Amino acid sequence: MTIEGRERPGEYPPNGSSRIESLDVIRGFAVLGIFFVNVPEMIGSGISFQPSYSGSDAAVRLLYDMFFQTKFYSIFAFLFGLSFYFFMQRAEQQGKPARRLFSRRLGILLLIGLLHAVLLWYGDILYTYALLGFLLLLFYRRSSKNVLVWGVVLTGLYAAVVSLLILLMNGLGMSAELSSPEFADVPGWKERAAYLLGDGLPNVLFIGIEVLGLFLLGLHAGKKGWLEGDAGAGAKPLRVAQWTALLLSGLLFIPMLRYYFSHESYTPMEIFHLTHLSGKTMAVFYICTLLRLIRRYGAHRLEDFAAIGRTALSNYLAQSLLTWAALLALGDAAADLPLWAGAVYCIAISLLLTLGSRIWLRSFRMGPAEWLWRAGTYGTLPPLARTPKAPGTHSGGLGH
């Protein structure tokens, strides 16, 4: 979502050296994490299909809930709001119609998201982000304090509602009802389209409470300049936030572990409120950890994440396309695979996409999906291929 580099009036902004590299690293990390969460749902062994787990699947599911589930979409939504701020700032500095450009950008993202949801993956997040992104325009001119209050209230409200619902369902003995094979009813594109028009839109309204809240927290971070420069906030505040988030996560993990060891089978929805809350604390921990690593070792040490981050949209779509192809090959047997097999698959595909992204960025400025997105936003065809460097020219690293 970030516009990078300097440009002359009327030109498309190139992929230049003003990019905040820490955002690329964090975005790439989040895209890979989201993949680990999506794959069980894609193949039919996730919590939307299976109410309880036993044996090795229970242990793997617990690890997913502690370290993956709800963690990475939280990071991604935060980055969306942060990137919105940078987009608007850069467009205004260059005398461009920022609101119109951002609205066009969201419209294209909405189209991509709907096509992705109908053709490949009904759990797409792009169309949700696009629809809710228009609301960000209402907050752009508000003070950072006002934005923070709205962000905290919306995020906290959603967390409270989810926790109350889970506790209520547990009290009624109905927590297993929250897991249902909904994707089994939408096997084809026509059924997926009907799902989006039926259950999909109300779901956007519900989760939109939290997603907009996370957007606003990212917007607040942009207004305060927390991620400007090499790694953003000062060393001490970053360290305090990191360890506080880890401590809070540990406090939430204790009842999760207690539940796991005291039950013969593991039913994720019975403790989903803990999974959800730890999603916010672990998101803070992950972000702070990455920023501290960048501050200490430099962004170039995390170029693999940065490569994925610079081609995030292309990689997100590629993850779905490759998994769709794998499901065609495996058929119904995919749902019977143990959870650890899905995790191994995610690792293999992530390594493949990381290698592919690094090779691609040696010759091209951006991913193919990013190129289409930007071309539609600005109404011009941006340069895709890199200009060959003169002999002896030093390379500034991936993406520059």
Reply yes or no on whether the pLDDT at 72 is more than 70. Answer: yes
Q: How far is CA 279 from CA 117, 176, 249, in A?
A: 24, 21, 8
pTM: 0.88
User: In this predicted structure, what is the pLDDT of residue 49?
Assistant: 77
Tokens read off for 369: 């999906």
Sign, Cα dihedral of 55, 57, 63, 66: negative
Task: Report pLDDT digits (tens) over 227-254.
Answer: 765 545 667 888 999 999 999 999 999 9
Reply yes or no on whether the pLDDT at 177 is more than 60. Answer: no
Distance between CA atoms of residues 349 and 326, nearest Å: 11
Distance between CA atoms of residues 186 and 363, nearest Å: 39
DSSP state of 199: I
Reply yes or no on whether the pLDDT at 91 is more than 90. Answer: yes
User: In this predicted structure, what is the pLDDT of residue 387?
Assistant: 79
Tokens read off for 43: 């193949």
Sign, Cα dihedral of 222, 224, 230, 234: negative
Distance between CA atoms of residues 165 and 334, nearest Å: 31
pLDDT band at 333 (very low <50, low <70, confident <90, very high): confident
| Strands, E assignment, the chain | none
Reply yes or no on whether the pLDDT at 150 is more than 80. Answer: yes
Task: Report pLDDT digits (tens) over 247-276.
Answer: 999 999 999 999 999 999 999 999 999 999
Reply yes or no on whether the pLDDT at 364 is more than 90. Answer: yes
User: In this predicted structure, what is the pLDDT of residue 120?
Assistant: 87
User: In this predicted structure, what is the pLDDT of residue 198?
Assistant: 72
DSSP string, 185-198: G--SHHHHHHHIII
Task: Report pLDDT digits (tens) over 181-239.
Answer: 444 444 566 666 777 777 777 788 899 999 999 999 999 999 998 876 554 566 788 89
Q: Let me know: does 340 contact 380? Beta carbons within 8 Å.
A: no
User: In this predicted structure, what is the pLDDT of residue 353?
Assistant: 98
Beta bridge partner(s), residue 364? 385
Q: What percent of the chain has pLDDT above 90?
A: 67
Q: What percent of the chain has pLDDT above 70?
A: 85
